[in-house]
A and B are shown apart, each in its own frame.
Chain A
Amino acid sequence: MKKKKLAIVSLMSDGGCHVAFLDMHENILQLLQNVELVHSYMVLDVRRIPDSVDIVLVEGGVRTSHDVEVLKEARRKAKILVALGSCACFGGIPGLSNLFDLYSSLKYVYEKTPTVIKGVIPRENVPEVVGVSPIFRYVKVDFQIPGCPPESKEIMEIILSLAKGEKPTLPTKTVCDECPLGPPRKKPSKLRRIFEPPKPSTCLLEQGYFCMGPVTRAGCGAKCPRAGIPCDGCRGPASKILDQGAAMLNTLATIAYNTIKNFNLRTYSAYFYRYSFASSLIEDLIRKTKVKKK
């Protein structure tokens, strides 16, 4: 049987999903017996996406007009298009910048930081900058592999399953279900920040840390809580959860209200919407209000 063709396309990203792909280590050789890697700017010399590719993994979300062009080209050339990682799936951490005015942000970064002497916002021979978006806002996405970055083993299994023409699935449980400390049996009485060390062997959420375990998709083996750090929700909303941040607010209810009333959305987005702000209901609402005002 002819090997299926695989491409990895990168938009706005830190390249971590590419590294997670390479983290298959020696298993890459096994993968390459089943699929042919035809495009990856990081490890191959092929500058353009070849014309017909069976599986295209898209790493990163949309930030520029150039990202939009590449994404649409990827869709045209792909039989199956997969969002790889939480930036492509939900907007990821850069999505947090949608809470700031784009022009002021560019102005600060390129003109106002303490080391800048001659400042100017770049506009020549560079693409136009737009708000951060997950890729589903621009093209049809056939499958999502969430995570920041996704688990290497999961990437491999999903590619192999797609190459065989099967329909892969994601874990439906939550990070709490995989966590030796969880799930929480009671609600915390006060919220804590991670510079205070937690008690060992006790659920982090019960102790009051913003642990996103109850609303986040399983599959990582609860690596962070096992290392004494609350889950920050990098694998996005668990199955059947529409909005990761809203679901977490709901879980914490009044305690959350008492703590966050002193904070603004820019602060608590770092807890509740770290990876999913650009695909949240609240962002949708803000955007619609802005369009109405215009």
Chain B
Amino acid sequence: MRVQIKPVTRIEGHMAITIDVEENRVKNLQINILEPPRLFEKFMENKPAEEAVRLAERICGICYVAHGLASVKAVEDAWDVKPPEAAIKLRKLLHAGGYIHSHTLHLALLALPDMLCPGEGVIGIAEKYPQLFKKAIVIRKYGQEITEIVGGRPIHPSTIVPGGMSKPLPREDRETLMKKGEVVLKNAMELVDTIFDIYEKNKLLSTYPEDLTYYMGLVSHGLHETYDGELHIMSPKGDVIASFKGLDYLKYIAEDSVRYSFVKHPYLRVNGEKYRVGTLARTNVAEKFGTPIADNYLAMLRKMVGKPFHNVGAYNLARAVEIIASIEKALNILEDEEILSKNIRTHVKPKAGIGVGIVEAPRGVLIHHYEIDDKGLLRKVNLIVATQQNIPPLERELIRVASDLLSKGEKLTTIEQRLEMVVRAYDPCISCATHLVKLRIVS
């Protein structure tokens, strides 16, 4: 018998899961990424490198900020450009805005229906839990306002340029964001408390699989990092087995193409092992966030699951904590007078070179690698995007969960629902990964 879940809903992009079942056992399971391949890595060739930012942002309609930043960092790496400190601060503020929008979109609008009103989607939340829905709207809107003010537009910001930022932050906009930020932080704490409560009351972690994998994420002096820092690889036992920067990623990451999916499957070049990225990985590789409220929540989370923690369901909890951390980080940056500086662009001269830009997108490690010619045009592009790195471990987890439920004689609809919950915990963004997924079960 062949079962197909197509498409998997409430994720960002098109993915299917095909399961071949024989005598109540999973014979084969494939995640088929149906999201059309747009082939960015090829068609970005010959384009002026400074225009790469606005092209690359279109890889993802959710984490455009992360793509824009990885892209500009790659170009600046190739051209040996160091933007002024104020510009870096504005970029970090923009990045925090992107996290607030993306994480709230996923947690409150895509994942929460599974916990509160299965089968009803976001409409269920809006109609049955209007207070929660309104909180989510307030928080996500704040993220988009940051992006619009700092980035010039709420989606696909335009102000990120090699050498810095094209637009300074007006004082009155800063005051507005600071004032709203306090209210948003309060709303976010209430939302996060609710999510932790639901998890504890319903013992939700026990419904998700544990998967002892390697983890990869940015760390800066032991602290949680999204823009700078070094990539750390952590073993399932919690040992840091490697840390690296820039072009060295080639020594640690390899990928195989597979016949049945538009997404390439990455693994660790050093040992062939699968690894995971994203909220869970970042909170594993870092000691702490460095902001007080988020660190309190992190301590609570670690009390529940330990460190490193492997439970897929903890992705959602780590995501919740990162919403708090992002708002705190945004507020810290806003308090700094330097972000009002007009000195936000430095002189840039294109030249031939190779550049790598690494940031943490909301869904995990994001790498842009460009080869640029002497006219300043892109010659070769390679991208490692967040979601694709989670697909190989996800496939393995789905096989385990499906096998377990089949052996218990669960109904097909229950199996579908549970598999989709596992998928959603990762907040997969399929358009990114094919640059990605629908779940199919065909009988």
Of A26-34, A169-177, A242-250, A283-291, the one contacting chain B is A26-34
> Contact flags (1/0) for B335-362 with A, using CB distance below 8 Å?
0000000000100101000000000000
> Contact flags (1/0) for A118-137 with B, using CB distance below 8 Å?
11111111110100100000
Min distance, Cβ B65 to any Cβ of chain A, angstroms: 12
B32 within 8 Å of A by Cβ? Answer: yes
Min distance, Cβ A105 to any Cβ of chain B, angstroms: 4
Interface pair A126/B33, CB less than 8 Å apart: yes
In the assembled complex, which residues on chain A have CB atoms less than 8 Å from the CB atom of B120?
Answer: 45
Tell me the chain B residues, 172-186 only, with Cβ under 8 Å from chain A: none
B39 within 8 Å of A by Cβ? Answer: yes
Interface pair A129/B259, CB less than 8 Å apart: no
Interface pair B42/A109, CB less than 8 Å apart: yes
Min distance, Cβ B101 to any Cβ of chain A, angstroms: 8
Nearest chain-B residue to A149 (Cβ)? B155
Cα-based distance from A194 to B152 in the complex (angstroms): 15
In the assembled complex, which residues on chain A have CB atoms less than 8 Å from the CB atom of B37?
Answer: 63, 106, 109, 129
In the assembled complex, which residues on chain A have CB atoms less than 8 Å from the CB atom of B254?
Answer: 115-117
Interface pair A15/B257, CB less than 8 Å apart: no
In the assembled complex, which residues on chain A have CB atoms less than 8 Å from the CB atom of B384?
Answer: 115
Interface pair A118/B257, CB less than 8 Å apart: yes
A208 within 8 Å of B by Cβ? Answer: no
- Interface residues in A, total, Cβ within 8 A: 87
Interface centre among A63, A94, A115, A124 (most CB of B within 10 A): A115
Of B7-15, B205-213, B290-298, B299-307, the one contacting chain A is B7-15
A43 within 8 Å of B by Cβ? Answer: yes
Interface pair B258/A19, CB less than 8 Å apart: no
In the assembled complex, which residues on chain B have CB atoms less than 8 Å from the CB atom of A13?
Answer: 61, 431
A149-B156 in contact given A97-B38, A270-B55 (Cβ < 8 Å): yes
Min distance, Cβ B126 to any Cβ of chain A, angstroms: 7
Interface pair B137/A26, CB less than 8 Å apart: yes
Tell me the chain B residues, 1-59 only, with Cβ under 8 Å from chain A: 6-7, 9-14, 18, 30, 32-43, 45-48, 50-51, 54-55, 58-59
Tell me the chain A residues, 1-47 only, with Cβ under 8 Å from chain B: 10-20, 22-23, 25-26, 28-29, 32, 37, 40-47
Nearest chain-A residue to B371 (Cβ)? A114
A77 within 8 Å of B by Cβ? Answer: no
Interface pair B123/A14, CB less than 8 Å apart: no
Tell me the chain A residues, 194-237 only, with Cβ under 8 Å from chain B: 194-197, 220, 223-224, 226-229, 232, 234
Min distance, Cβ A37 to any Cβ of chain B, angstroms: 7
Interface pair B51/A194, CB less than 8 Å apart: yes
Tell me the chain B residues, 115-163 only, with Cβ under 8 Å from chain A: 119-123, 126, 134, 137, 140-141, 144, 151-156, 158-159, 161-163
Min distance, Cβ A156 to any Cβ of chain B, angstroms: 14
Min distance, Cβ A34 to any Cβ of chain B, angstroms: 14
Cα-based distance from A111 to B258 in the complex (angstroms): 10
A72 within 8 Å of B by Cβ? Answer: no
In the assembled complex, which residues on chain B have CB atoms less than 8 Å from the CB atom of A220?
Answer: 153
Cα-based distance from A22 to B156 in the complex (angstroms): 15
In the assembled complex, which residues on chain B have CB atoms less than 8 Å from the CB atom of A41?
Answer: 7, 9-11, 14
Cα-based distance from A117 to B336 in the complex (angstroms): 46
Cα-based distance from A147 to B140 in the complex (angstroms): 22
> Contact flags (1/0) for B360-404 with A, using CB distance below 8 Å?
000000000100000111001010100000000000000000000
B62 within 8 Å of A by Cβ? Answer: yes
Interface pair A114/B250, CB less than 8 Å apart: yes
In the assembled complex, which residues on chain A have CB atoms less than 8 Å from the CB atom of B105?
Answer: 19, 22
In the assembled complex, which residues on chain A have CB atoms less than 8 Å from the CB atom of B163?
Answer: 195, 197
Interface centre among A16, A99, A129 (most CB of B within 10 A): A16
Point out the residue from A47, A193, A224 that lies within 8 Å of B50, measured CB to CB.
A193
In the assembled complex, which residues on chain B have CB atoms less than 8 Å from the CB atom of A17?
Answer: 61
B220 within 8 Å of A by Cβ? Answer: no
Cα-based distance from A291 to B292 in the complex (angstroms): 65
Interface pair A109/B41, CB less than 8 Å apart: yes
A93-B36 in contact given A193-B48, A195-B50, A266-B46 (Cβ < 8 Å): no
Interface pair A25/B141, CB less than 8 Å apart: yes
Interface pair A270/B126, CB less than 8 Å apart: no
Interface pair B61/A26, CB less than 8 Å apart: no
Cα-based distance from A96 to B38 in the complex (angstroms): 10
Nearest chain-A residue to B255 (Cβ)? A115
In the assembled complex, which residues on chain B have CB atoms less than 8 Å from the CB atom of A234?
Answer: 156
Interface centre among B36, B45, B134, B140 (most CB of A within 10 A): B36
In the assembled complex, which residues on chain A have CB atoms less than 8 Å from the CB atom of B162?
Answer: 195
Cα-based distance from A127 to B34 in the complex (angstroms): 7
Tell me the chain A residues, 93-112 only, with Cβ under 8 Å from chain B: 93-94, 96-97, 99-100, 104-106, 108-111
In the assembled complex, which residues on chain B have CB atoms less than 8 Å from the CB atom of A254?
Answer: none
B166 within 8 Å of A by Cβ? Answer: yes
Cα-based distance from A121 to B126 in the complex (angstroms): 43
Interface pair B161/A229, CB less than 8 Å apart: yes
> Contact flags (1/0) for B246-283 with A, using CB distance below 8 Å?
00001001111111111010100000000000000000
In the assembled complex, which residues on chain A have CB atoms less than 8 Å from the CB atom of B35?
Answer: 12
In the assembled complex, which residues on chain B have CB atoms less than 8 Å from the CB atom of A123?
Answer: 259
B60 within 8 Å of A by Cβ? Answer: yes
Interface pair B36/A32, CB less than 8 Å apart: no
Interface pair B58/A228, CB less than 8 Å apart: no
Interface centre among A22, A126, A229 (most CB of B within 10 A): A126
In the assembled complex, which residues on chain B have CB atoms less than 8 Å from the CB atom of A28?
Answer: 126, 137
Interface pair B9/A15, CB less than 8 Å apart: no
Cα-based distance from A108 to B126 in the complex (angstroms): 45
Cα-based distance from A97 to B45 in the complex (angstroms): 10
B109 within 8 Å of A by Cβ? Answer: yes
Q: Beyond A45-B120, A111-B257, A119-B257: 18 further Cβ-contacts under 8 Å?
A: A16-B155, A20-B155, A26-B134, A29-B126, A41-B14, A42-B11, A96-B47, A108-B41, A109-B41, A124-B259, A127-B34, A127-B36, A195-B350, A197-B163, A220-B153, A224-B158, A227-B166, A270-B47
14 contacts between A and B (CB under 8 A): A14-B58, A15-B62, A19-B61, A19-B105, A28-B137, A45-B119, A93-B58, A94-B40, A114-B369, A115-B254, A116-B257, A129-B37, A226-B152, A232-B158
Closest 9 CB pairs of A and B: A16-B61, A227-B152, A63-B36, A44-B121, A97-B43, A14-B61, A228-B166, A12-B36, A15-B61
